[in-house]
């Protein structure tokens, strides 16, 4: 939800904190702030608005010091304002805190502290942490933080500094991401790795409820009981440019263009000698034979990938699958047993609803398999098995390359299950593997259609409402196309199953309404042609997405046609989605929207 950073070293903290925060702004962008310790004083500068506003403010203020913490916010408690921005300072001004997460019992703590004479300046849950640490402090900051954490309920990643400790700061986490970066005579904390990649590649991951004491030359980690923990650092081998825009106007466009390589990176290493080998998956053949049901749980775009997963696993492996939104699954008392497999999908690996839904499934005896992009994230660490989508960092709030790679992983799982169950003969199996490996080139050919898509977007960016329709896998695809458009263009949009439209929604189609129709499924092609005719007859303008082989036929009934290569219907969504992402992107650009940081959203949703 929010992004936090911390630095201690021999360099000026201000430019480093701002530089790191720029990489975290995708996590929250309604306000930002820094606290830098110098000569026994905490210099606190914060402001409402984008990070650029804070940066401008800092350009006119002398803020020196070689240790500091910083924050970029996505408001949960209290509106975006200077006073609600982090860092928050304790009553006597000696302790500063940045926080990502939600403190669920903050009202009770607030009442307790109010009774002790503490006054609150902000509406945030975070301010109570600063005061509570001060209240618990008796000269030992680590102890005070540990005691405070024991009294907090909820999720947190924290950076804490105090006037009494000019050569160290403290970090802690529970259910919110936080990593420690190790440098030479300097150390860092951040909400994610790309934020500090420019400065160090040596990373320590903090476990839940651990506290780190960070000085210039070492990092000590303690568990809840205050016992010192051993932790091996790992070295990140990605390219720094993976987290930079690299000449593109927006991260979103860069990430769409990375889809061919991301898909290749997810698929290729897992096909060895004409067989699928899925990392170190511990699911046995016996478990697969006994698997009665699969639950796929996720949120947003990852959920839409899950809906595709349902269709393909059921089709290929003949195992019943339920794809479900994590926030619904969590609270509906789901029927699960030990012969069920739960697949959770998450780009960030930190989405709270998905994480908690996974715990719920585990608690009820199900095995869990996580399809996750961020290495070492909470979901990845807690699942029984992990299948990483090697998409590289995804910075734009609107998920693009993560979706194609999630689909890639799901295809691998579906094919493996089908193979193990003896449902695919050698010929079919190897044909699918061959086609799967052609996906990067096919996505490339859709990217080459970008000018045509841009032209179409330029004719329709003023639309009030846009419908997406499709049948079968095209319906699943339409859900994602519609979400992409909504989140960055702010145009009202709905996705409907082609056959369902006439049961109500068709009443909304009038002269000029834009309907994006997907016709990539051979078996359902004629049915969809019928649905296109139905909306055309009511005045709709139709943008059709179909395979090359059907282009001329579809051109007779649609206003515009975007073609994708002739791909097996089962694999079509992985290719076709790119055209929808490009369409949403160009519409949003033409509307002048902030494509990478759409209003009201944040990249990683760690609140319920």
Candidate residues 191, 342, 366, 399; the one interacting with ligand AGP per rule CB under 6 A = 399
300 near ligand AGP (CB under 6 A): yes
Catalytic residue among 2, 299, 517, 547: 2
Contact stretch for ligand AGP (CB under 6 A) within 159-167, 216-224, 295-303, 417-425? 295-303
Tell me the site size for ligand AGP, rule CB under 6 A: 16
Q: Using CA atoms, how far apart are residues 515 and 583, in angstroms rounded to an integer?
A: 13
Q: Angle, nearest 10°, between helix axes 426-447 and 259-267?
A: 160
The CA-based angle 567-573-578, given to 5 degrees, is: 100
Give me the residues paired with residue 8 across strands: 67, 187
Candidate residues 313, 358, 398, 575; the one interacting with ligand AGP per rule CB under 6 A = 398
Q: How far is the CB of 369 from ligand AGP (least distance, A)?
A: 15
Q: Which string of x and - marks every residue 353-382 that binds ligand AGP (by CB under 6 A)?
A: -x----------------------------
75 near ligand AGP (CB under 6 A): no
Cα-atom radius of gyration of the chain, to the nearest Å?
25
306 near ligand AGP (CB under 6 A): no
Candidate residues 100, 165, 342, 346; the one interacting with ligand AGP per rule CB under 6 A = 346
Q: Angle, nearest 10°, between helix axes 572-590 and 426-447?
A: 20
Give whichever of 317 and 574 is closer to ligand AGP, judged by the CB atom: 574
Candidate residues 157, 170, 283, 299; the one interacting with ligand AGP per rule CB under 6 A = 299
**DSSP assigned state of 154:** B
Give whichever of 134 and 353 is closer to ligand AGP, judged by the CB atom: 353
Give whichever of 187 and 604 is closer to ligand AGP, judged by the CB atom: 604
Contact stretch for ligand AGP (CB under 6 A) within 248-256, 287-295, 340-348, 529-537? 340-348
For residues 10-24, one letter each, b for 16 or more C-beta atoms within 10 angstroms of the residue's C-beta and e for the rest, the string is: eebbbebbbbbbbbb
Q: How far is the CB of 279 from ligand AGP (least distance, A)?
A: 19
Q: How far is the CB of 242 from ligand AGP (least distance, A)?
A: 17
Question: Residue 92 corresponds to which tokens in the numbers above?
Answer: 């006597």
Is residue 597 flagged as an active site residue?
A: no
Q: How far is the CB of 306 from ligand AGP (least distance, A)?
A: 10
Question: Residue 44 corresponds to which tokens in the numbers above?
Answer: 């606190």
Q: Using CA atoms, how far apart are residues 476 and 481, in angstroms rounded to an integer?
A: 9
| Phi, then psi, of 123 in degrees rounded to 5 | -100, 10
Contact stretch for ligand AGP (CB under 6 A) within 218-226, 393-401, 427-435, 521-529? 393-401
487 near ligand AGP (CB under 6 A): yes
348 near ligand AGP (CB under 6 A): yes
Q: Which of 219, 234, 211 is nearest to 186 (CA)?
A: 219
Contact stretch for ligand AGP (CB under 6 A) within 28-36, 130-138, 348-356, 453-461? 348-356
Give whichever of 136 and 351 is closer to ligand AGP, judged by the CB atom: 351
Contact stretch for ligand AGP (CB under 6 A) within 51-59, 153-161, 173-181, 300-308? 300-308
Q: Using CA atoms, how far apart are residues 543 and 562, in angstroms rounded to an integer?
A: 8
Contact stretch for ligand AGP (CB under 6 A) within 65-73, 151-159, 270-278, 394-402? 394-402
Give me the residues paired with residue 70 across strands: 5, 34
302 near ligand AGP (CB under 6 A): yes
Question: Residue 403 corresponds to which tokens in the numbers above?
Answer: 């979706």
Q: How far is the CB of 370 from ligand AGP (least distance, A)?
A: 10
546-605 positions binding ligand AGP, by CB under 6 A:
601, 604-605
Give me the residues paired with residue 541 across strands: 514
Question: Residue 540 corresponds to which tokens in the numbers above?
Answer: 């709709």
Burial class (CB in 10 A: 0-12, 13-18, 19+), 293: middle
Give whichever of 351 and 578 is closer to ligand AGP, judged by the CB atom: 351
Candidate residues 72, 301, 342, 581; the one interacting with ligand AGP per rule CB under 6 A = 301
Give whichever of 67 and 296 is closer to ligand AGP, judged by the CB atom: 296
3-state SS string for 439-486: HHHHHHHHHCCHHHHHHHHHHHCCCCEEEEEECCHHHHHHHHHHHHHH
Candidate residues 397, 515, 524, 577; the one interacting with ligand AGP per rule CB under 6 A = 397
Give whichever of 206 and 299 is closer to ligand AGP, judged by the CB atom: 299
Contact stretch for ligand AGP (CB under 6 A) within 100-108, 261-269, 362-370, 392-400? 392-400
297 near ligand AGP (CB under 6 A): no
Give whichever of 360 and 487 is closer to ligand AGP, judged by the CB atom: 487
Contact 222, 229 (CB under 8 A): yes
- Spatial strand order of the sheet with 367-372 comes to 321-325, 293-298, 340-346, 367-372, 385-388
Q: Which of 129, 144, 153, 154 is nearest to 213 (CA)?
A: 144
351 near ligand AGP (CB under 6 A): yes
Is residue 2 flagged as an active site residue?
A: yes
476 near ligand AGP (CB under 6 A): no
Question: Residue 433 corresponds to which tokens in the numbers above?
Answer: 């593997």
Q: Which of 298, 359, 263 is nearest to 567 (CA)?
A: 263
Contact stretch for ligand AGP (CB under 6 A) within 146-154, 164-172, 344-352, 422-430? 344-352
266 near ligand AGP (CB under 6 A): no
Per DSSP, the residues of 227-294 read -EE----EE--S-GGGGS-TT-SSHHHHHHHTHHHHHHHHHGGGEETTEE--TT----HHHHHH--EE
Give whichever of 252 and 463 is closer to ligand AGP, judged by the CB atom: 252
Give whichever of 84 and 579 is closer to ligand AGP, judged by the CB atom: 579
Strands 41-48 and 31-38: antiparallel
Q: Which of 211, 231, 223 is nearest to 142 (CA)?
A: 211
What residue number has its CB nearest to ligand AGP? 300
Q: Using CA atoms, how far apart are residues 267 and 453, in angstroms rounded to an integer?
A: 27
Burial class (CB in 10 A: 0-12, 13-18, 19+), 288: middle
Contact 320, 294 (CB under 8 A): yes
Catalytic residue among 264, 484, 597, 603: 603
Residues in contact with ligand AGP by the rule CB under 6 A: 299-302, 346-348, 351, 354, 397-399, 487, 601, 604-605
**Active site residues per annotation:** 2, 603
């Amino acid at each position: 939800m929010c992004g936090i950073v911390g630095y201690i070293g021999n360099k000026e903290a201000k430019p480093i904190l701002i530089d790191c925060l720029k990489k975290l702004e995708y996590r929250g962008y309604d306000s930002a702030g820094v606290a830098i310790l110098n000569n026994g004083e905490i210099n606190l500068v914060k402001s409402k608005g984008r990070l650029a506003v804070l940066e401008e403010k800092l350009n006119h203020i002398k803020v020196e010091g070689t240790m500091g913490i910083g924050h970029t916010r996505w408001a949960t408690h209290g509106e975006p304002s200077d006073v609600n921005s982090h860092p928050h300072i304790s009553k006597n001004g000696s302790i500063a805190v940045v926080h990502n997460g939600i403190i669920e019992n903050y009202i009770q703590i607030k009442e307790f502290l109010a009774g002790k004479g503490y006054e609150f300046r902000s509406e945030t849950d975070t301010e109570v942490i600063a005061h509570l640490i001060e209240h618990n402090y008796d000269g030992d900051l680590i102890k005070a933080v540990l005691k405070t954490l024991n009294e907090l309920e909820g999720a947190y990643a924290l950076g804490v500094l105090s006037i009494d400790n000019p050569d160290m700061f403290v970090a802690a986490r529970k259910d919110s991401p936080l990593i420690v970066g190790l440098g030479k005579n300097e150390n860092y904390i951040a909400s994610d790795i790309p934020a500090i990649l420019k400065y160090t590649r040596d990373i320590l991951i903090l476990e839940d409820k651990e506290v780190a004491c960070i000085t210039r030359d070492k990092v000590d980690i303690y568990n809840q009981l205050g016992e010192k923990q051993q932790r091996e650092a790992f070295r990140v081998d990605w390219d720094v440019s993976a987290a930079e825009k690299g000449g593109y106007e927006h991260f979103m466009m860069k990430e769409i263009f990375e889809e061919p390589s991301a898909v290749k990176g997810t698929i290729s290493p897992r096909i060895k000698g004409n067989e699928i080998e899925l990392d170190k998956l511990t699911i046995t053949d016996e478990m697969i034979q006994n698997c009665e049901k699969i639950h796929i749980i996720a949120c947003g775009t990852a959920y839409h990938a899950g809906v595709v997963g349902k269709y393909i696993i059921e089709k290929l492996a003949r195992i019943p699958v339920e794809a479900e939104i994590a926030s619904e699954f969590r609270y509906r008392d789901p029927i699960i047993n030990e012969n069920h497999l739960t697949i959770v999908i998450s780009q960030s690996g930190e989405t709270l609803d998905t994480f908690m839904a996974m715990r719920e499934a585990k608690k009820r005896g199900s095995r869990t398999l996580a399809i996750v992009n961020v290495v070492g994230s909470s979901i990845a660490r807690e699942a029984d098995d992990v299948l990483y989508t090697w998409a590289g960092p995804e910075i734009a709030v609107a998920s693009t390359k993560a979706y194609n790679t999630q689909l890639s992983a799901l295809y691998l799982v579906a094919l493996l299950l089908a193979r193990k169950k003896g449902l695919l003969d050698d010929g079919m199996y190897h044909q699918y593997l061959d086609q799967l490996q052609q996906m990067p080139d096919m996505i490339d050919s859709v990217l080459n259609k970008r000018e045509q898509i841009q032209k179409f977007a330029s004719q329709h960016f003023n639309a009030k409402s846009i419908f997406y329709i499709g049948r079968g896998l095209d319906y699943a695809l339409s859900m994602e196309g519609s979400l992409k458009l909504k989140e960055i263009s702010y145009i009202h949009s709905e996705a409907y199953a082609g056959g369902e439209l006439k049961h109500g929604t068709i009443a909304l189609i009038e002269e000029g309404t834009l309907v994006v129709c997907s016709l990539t499924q051979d078996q359902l092609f004629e049915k969809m042609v019928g649905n296109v005719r139905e909306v055309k007859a009511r005045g709709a303008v139709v943008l059709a997405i179909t395979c090359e082989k059907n282009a001329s036929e579809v051109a007779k009934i649609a206003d515009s046609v975007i073609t994708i290569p002739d791909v097996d219907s089962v694999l079509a969504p992985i290719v076709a989605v790119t055209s929808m992402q490009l369409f949403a992107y160009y519409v949003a650009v033409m509307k002048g929207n902030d494509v990478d940081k759409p209003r009201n959203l944040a990249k990683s949703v760690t609140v319920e």
